[in-house]
Amino acid sequence: MRLFDTHCHFDFDVFADDFACQLELAQTQGVERIMIPSIGPSNWDKLLAMSAEYAGIYTALGMHPYFLTDNSVYHLTDLQKQTEAHLNHFRAIGECGLDAMVDVDHDIQGKVFNAQIALANDLQLPLILHSRKTHNEVLQLLKQHKFTFGGVLHGFSGSYQQAMQFIELGFYIGIGGVITYPRARKTRQTAANLPLEWIVLETDAPDMPLMGYQGKPNHPAMLSQVLSCLTLLRDTDERSVAQITWKNANRVFKVCE
């Protein structure tokens, strides 16, 4: 089976020791492709270099709401320049969005997110969305921008109705380790009932550890367990789920199979 981890912070320090071995470990579990979204100016150059050096590593350029500061609006010009200079070397804008659970000024989050939606519109690229307790506002902004290039709603944890609103705007739903927790009933039920043609798999490693691995860094090699859990929830064939989610991930990021 061929798997595509559509959201993994594989550039973080926890993976720095012998990265080639870390990548090989993921590959032994069927993970052939990995999308690494950026968090901001601090890792744009590193991600571009990684995607150039390693086959199967793809990247997105953007500014994550968690890492914004009062000065972040001034980096939007830098983001514009980076995207213009490296247009053929990244696949999406992101990770970007809104987060009601972090201590970052909401006005700054809004300005930076709006600018990134506009940039993705200009470049005709998908967005990798981060949304915590902000689904309605994110949807409203996407509609205001008349954004039509889709993307992935990363780390989804919500209702079927919320997920379908994003799907209607062309966004795939990123399903990760949350579904391995029995207490996450709403998210598990949603994952079981969404149209499979709009689901992609992710780990968000080193974050979002799976059930039974709390306190340990997550790893893209764990994606096969996310697949297994999703298959059980949907009571279907694992190979067919793997094939469809693989096609979905390649389609959204415009990667040849």
Q: Is 219 known to sit in a ligand binding site?
A: no
- Reported confidence tier of residue 158, pLDDT bands at 50, 70, 90: confident
What is the predicted pLDDT for the residue at 197?
98
Backbone angles phi, psi at 95, to 5 degrees: -85, 130
Q: Is 64 known to sit in a ligand binding site?
A: no
What is the predicted pLDDT for the residue at 126?
98
Please answer whether residues 186 and 158 qualify as being in contact, where contact means their C-beta atoms are separated by less than 8 angstroms: yes
Segment 199-229, tens digit of pLDDT: 999 999 999 999 999 999 999 999 999 999 9
Can you list the domains of the chain with their CATH numbers?
3-8+26-252 (3.20.20.140)
Mean pLDDT value of segment 19-28: 96
CA distances to 142, 202, 247 from 168, rounded to whole Å, are 11, 21, 19
pTM for the model stands at 0.97
What is the predicted pLDDT for the residue at 257?
80
What is the predicted pLDDT for the residue at 19?
94
Whether the pLDDT of residue 51 is over 90: the answer is yes
pLDDT over 90 for what percent of the chain? 98
Segment 80-95, tens digit of pLDDT: 999 999 999 999 999 9
Instruction: Give CA–CA dist 253/170, Å, rounded.
Output: 13
pLDDT over 70 for what percent of the chain? 100
Segment 26-43, tens digit of pLDDT: 999 999 999 999 999 999
- Give the CA dihedral 104, 107, 109, 111, nearest 10 degrees: -150
Mean pLDDT value of segment 93-109: 97
Segment 62-78, tens digit of pLDDT: 999 999 999 999 999 99
Which 3 state secondary structure label does DSSP give 175?
strand
Q: Is 53 known to sit in a ligand binding site?
A: no
What is the predicted pLDDT for the residue at 83?
97
Instruction: Give CA–CA dist 172/252, Å, rounded.
Output: 8
Q: Is 45 known to sit in a ligand binding site?
A: no
Query: Apex CA 100: angle with CA 102 and CA 48, to 5°?
Result: 65
